[in-house]
Structures are given as structure tokens and as C-alpha cells.
Amino acid sequence: MRLADLADILPVPPGVPVEVEVTGVTSDSRAVRPGMIFVAVSGSKADGSAYAADAQERGAAAIVAGNGISLESIRVPVLAVEDPRLALARLASRFWPRQPQTMVAVTGTSGKTSVASFTRQIWEHAGYAAASIGTTGVVAPDRNEYGALTTPDPVALHMLLDELAGEGVTHASMEASSHGLDQRRLDSVRLAAGAFTNLGRDHMDYHPTVEDYLKAKLRLFDALLPKGAPAVIFADDEYSAPVIEAASSAGLQVLTVGRQGDFLCLKRVEHERHRQRAEVQYAGEIHEIDLPLAGDFQVSNALVAAGLAIATGTPARDALKALETLKGAPGRLDLVGTAANGAPVYVDYSHKPDALENVLKSVRPFTTGRVIVVFGCGGDRDRGKRPIMGEIATRLADVVIVTDDNPRSEVPAEIRAAVLAGAPGAIEIGDRREAIRTAVAMLQSGDTLIVAGKGHEEGQTIGTRTFPFSDHEEVRAALRERPA
């Protein structure tokens, strides 16, 4: 590709040789290979323009930077753009141009991973070659891989989409995290539909206010989806109104789901411990659904996923039937085992207030004894949520064990102290393995144990090192060690 072929993205100033060959694009100077374009973005830790000289040294053919940034020592062409992150996304989609034909993105505070997984499963059930991309990685017919970010950065994302399309994947569901939306990671993805699950407190370390957080989420609807595209919105959430408003103003086709939904209306639901029986109305017809998942909130996620599949062409009957075969995403109210006295132990990924509240409330009706919860909060993340989660656990569980999550660079005891400030009666056991063993050992008949916060994760990050650690394995080991 020549620089001239990218003139619609990169305004080439007079004097710059437009015939120059370019071989790829990156925003990380350390990844520059000869002939690549380096895009200098301003990040949370550094300003990419500080690495322009490094990129040049490694053979960059051109540097893209924000308007007004002066790069005096640079000899290769410097191309100024208004929004370098947008340019990065657009360039990535040019170098890796193939994308599955039908792509959808789901945003919201909780339920994204579950909805992305369910949508893929519905498509698979209907016979499509489908993929899902998100917190638990990439799942596709030929792969099941771990990924570092929920919404990959544009270069990684477009490389992946190009490969998936090459592997014959026609349908892909993605999670749109607020970071991803804010950082333009999805701006060149050709989305056919979008969805919203709910909004609560999250990532307050990154977004200055809840309004900024909502604004980032709304970008999916007011900036990314093409006019006329379906927007599937969970209507029972208190924040659905601004999302519906943004979607309507952007000329999208608003499809609401839930008890207050018009597209898929939840008429009746009966919650059982390990399944949910629902009656859902679609186009005037009632469908009985036996959803084989624990957790009342999974009904909402299943409806959003079915809405996305139907809106993108899966026959409604097939989509709704497929709900009866769904498997939960790993680590989402995942039943790992049961003590000999019948007490169940779940691993769950609730690491934010609303999720913890939901999961504790959803097991209460099936618990004749005590609800026991083991959890902590991650370091280098929103500090404000710590006492809030402590308070929620104290209010909704009978036994609260506060332990470590991923302390990262913070002092673990200080994180626990912040959680304990909201949970004065809690037991403190820093070592997560020991906390899980203690909780499993206390299980009496009728109790339910939730090990919350790390879900599918397979490591624990302490300082800069990540040690192998799996809540699933620890629970299984603790159950084995329990005296019969």
C-alpha cells in the first residue's frame, strides 16, 4: 500500500512523497518494523509523541500525530490529524480489511461477556460459523484463546477480524467496554447491530464522572452504529431511557427487551436454583423457555442475546429455542461443586457493586441456611467501590470473608481495610487460598457459597508478577479436603 492510498484518512501535506510504500500500522513504537506508520496517541501513562524518535529509528515510514504537536527532530513525514486514535482504527481496518459479515457489539456495566457468548451460541445453534470476542478471550470454530483486553486495541482487533473472516466466520459478537468505546477501538468495525444491558458504577478510576461513563457507553449508539441498524436495549434498567433516546436520535431501530420490552416481552418468569422458566412474547406469540442457567439476571442476558440474533436475521423460533441449550460463560455464577451435605459453591465474576448485589440476591431465595461470600477488590482500580462492596456484602450475605483479589501495585492490607470499612463484621483472610478453604470448611446443609471477583481468571497479580491461581481449582481442592 502507498501513502497515497490512505489520503482519505491521512491528509498528506505538499512535498511529502505520496508514492512511499507503507507496510503496516502501530501505536507502539516498540512494534515498529521498517516501512510502518507509527501513530502517536496520548495515553493514560504516556504521550506517544515522546516515542516518535524511537519509531523513526526502528524504520517508521511516517508518523501520525495530533494537530499542533511539533516533532522537530523527526525527518520522516509527519502527518497531522485531528484524532490520532480514530486514524489508528481507520488505518488498521485498511491494512486488515476483512471482517465477518454480521458483527454485533454489546455494552453495559454487567452482562457483556454473557451476552456476547450467548449470541455466539445462538448463531452456532442456527448453523452459522460464529465467534465471540471479549473478557474471556476469543471463541470461534477453530479457536479458544485468551485475550488481554475485553475490547482489543484496533490493530489487534482488525488483525483478528481479518483472520476470522479468512477462517470462514460469518458472525461475530463483541464486547464494547467503556475504555474501548472511549479510545475509539471499535470505530472502524462494520457493526450490524448493538445492544445495551444495564448501567451501574464501574471504572470510576478512568471516567471522571458517571455522566462521562454513560457518554462513553452511548458512543456505540450515537457514533458507531449505522443509521437504521437495530439497537437492542434492556428496557428494565433505570438507564435505558437515555440509551433509547440516544439510539432514536441517531436514527437507529430501537428494539426493547425485558418486562417493559416491546420486541421481546418477558411475560412471566419462575426462578429455580439452576434454571429459569420464562414466557416470552415475540410478534404476538408466546414462547415458553426453559433456560438452563443459575441466576435470575441470566434471563435478561438471554433476552438481549436473542434480540441481537433475531435482529440480525436468525429466525425467532430458532433463536428462542437455542436459549434452552445455553452454557454460561466461564466463571459467571458457575457451579463448581457441591459439599457432601448438598451446599453449592459458585465462582462468580462480580467485581463491581451492582454485580455483587445481583448475584447475592439471586441465590438468596434458594438458600435455607446462610449465604457465605468470599471476595476482595483489585488494586490500581476504582478505590471508591471498596467500602460500597463491603456494605453490599454485609447487607446481603450472612458470612463475609474479605480476601485479596489482584492487589497489583497496592498494599493488599490497605485494600482489605477499605473494603472492611464498609463491612465491619467481616472475617479478614488475606490469602485467597486460605479464605476459600475456610469458607468451604464452614459449609453446612442449606448454605450457599459464592467466591466472587475473579471468575474465569487463571492468575493472581501481586506487585508486577502474576502467579497461577484459579478459584475453580481452589474450590475443587477445598471440597476434596473437607471431611466427609
Ligand X SMILES: Nc1ncnc2c1ncn2[C@@H]1O[C@H](COP(=O)(O)OP(=O)(O)OP(=O)(O)O)[C@@H](O)[C@H]1O
Ligand Y SMILES: CC(=O)N[C@H]1[C@@H](OP(=O)(O)OP(=O)(O)OC[C@H]2O[C@@H](n3ccc(=O)[nH]c3=O)[C@H](O)[C@@H]2O)O[C@H](CO)[C@@H](O)[C@@H]1O[C@H](C)C(=O)N[C@@H](C)C(=O)N[C@H](CCC(=O)O)C(=O)O
Report if residue 136 touches ligand API, rule: CB under 6 A.
no
Q: Is 378 in the site for ligand API (CB under 6 A)?
A: yes
Nearest residue by C-beta to ligand Y? Answer: 43
Is 108 part of any known ligand binding site? yes
Kindly state the smallest distance separating residue 453's Cβ from ligand API, in Å: 5
Residue 99 as a binder of Mg ion (CB under 5 A): the answer is no
Q: Binder to ligand API among 237, 405, 410, 447 (CB under 6 A)?
A: 405
End-to-end CA distance of the chain: 68
**In a 3-state reduction of DSSP, which class is residue 1?**
coil
Of the residues 112, 185, 207, 454, which one makes contact with ligand API according to CB under 6 A: 454
Residues 140-179 that bind ligand Y (CB under 6 A): 149-151, 153, 177, 179
Quick check: 261 binds ligand API (CB under 6 A)?
no
- CA 446/CA 371 separation, integer angstroms: 9
Residues contacting 242, CB < 8 A, separation 6+: 214, 218
460 binds, among ligand Y, ligand X, Mg ion, none (CB under 5 to 8 A by kind): none
Sole window of 167-175, 215-223, 298-306, 452-460 interacting with ligand API (rule: CB under 6 A): 452-460
Residue 453 makes contact with ligand API by CB under 6 A: yes
Contact between 43 and ligand Y by CB under 6 A: the answer reads yes
Output Rg (C-alpha) for the chain, integer angstroms: 24
Q: How far apart are CA 229 and CA 248, in angstroms?
A: 11
**Nearest Cα to Cα of residue 203 among 226, 236, 177, 225:** 177
101, 102, 108, 109: CA torsion to nearest 10 = -70
Choice between 29 and 301, CB closer to ligand X: 301
406 annotated as a binding-site residue: yes
Question: Which is it for strands 285-291 and 276-282: parallel, antiparallel or unpaired?
Answer: antiparallel
For residue 106, the minimal CB distance to ligand X (Å) is 8
CA nearest to 24, candidates 69, 55, 49, 47: 55
C-alpha span between 286 and 411 (Å, rounded)? 54
Unique residue bearing C-alpha cell 476470522 = 164
**CB-neighbour burial class of residue 45 (10 A; exposed 0-12, middle 13-18, buried 19+):** exposed
For ligand API, the closer of residues 282 and 375 by Cβ is 375
| Interaction of residue 390 with ligand Y, rule CB under 6 A | no
Binding site for ligand Y (CB under 6 A): 27-30, 41, 43-46, 48, 51, 135, 149-151, 153, 177, 179-180, 206
Question: Residue positions in the annotated binding site?
Answer: 29, 108-114, 150-151, 177, 183, 185, 381, 405-408, 453, 457
